[in-house]
Amino acid sequence: MTILAEIQSLLESRAEGRYGLTLINQQQHALQAAWLAEQDGHDDALVTAALLHDIGHLVHDLGDNPADAGIDDKHEELGHHWLTQHFGPAVTEPVRLHVAAKRYLCGKEADYFAKLSPDSVKSLALQGGPMGPDELAAFEAEPHFAAAVQLRRYDERAKVKGLATPPVAHFMPAVGRVCRD
Ligand code: FE
């Protein structure tokens, strides 16, 4: 199976699970995030990062809701590791940083915490809570800082029950254009 076929298959079949989401499944979450990025005119790399930012949930076997058991599945690291075999840093770095970006935004913007879904609030504590001043400055020095923050804002907004999006196949050409294989 080619990597593109494998990604499409993961999103079309394995992503029926919720993996920490309450209102929608992982496939709907991925599609909504990618659709938001595409509609805002972002490039193939950010659309792909949005589509695949939670792929780490789909390549582990910790069950459907590890955060409920107090387990941080480190899905951003799993996803990053998996993706680096096939994509460059414009895709993989925002994925690696999307959890840190939540901690960043909660430390940076007074009203951001209120935008988090209950699931994200629960995992935030496991992930280290809001960043303090030193961490904020270090995060802003990351080369893909801006893309990671943008991805995170889509991540927050991509949890809308019933929001229609194009299917997985719609996004595969963009994924193909940034895939190194
Ligand atoms: Fe997400």
**Domains of the chain, with CATH numbers?**
3-15+24-178 (1.10.3210.10)
Give the pLDDT mean for 123-150.
96
Phi-psi region of 105 (alpha: psi -120 to 50; beta: other; left: phi over 0): alpha
pLDDT beyond 80 at 113 = yes
In angstroms, what is the span from residue 54 Cα to ligand 1's centroid?
Answer: 5
pLDDT beyond 80 at 170 = yes
In angstroms, what is the span from residue 64 Cα to ligand 1's centroid?
Answer: 14
In angstroms, what is the span from residue 111 Cα to ligand 1's centroid?
Answer: 19
pLDDT at residue 62, rounded to an integer: 63
In angstroms, what is the span from residue 51 Cα to ligand 1's centroid?
Answer: 9
Give the pLDDT mean for 61-74.
71
Give tens-digit pLDDT for 6-51: 999 999 987 787 777 778 999 999 999 999 999 999 999 999 999 9
pLDDT at residue 64, rounded to an integer: 64
Q: Dig out the tokens for 84 from the structure.
A: 């680096």
Do 159 and 117 touch, CB atoms closer than 8 A? Answer: yes
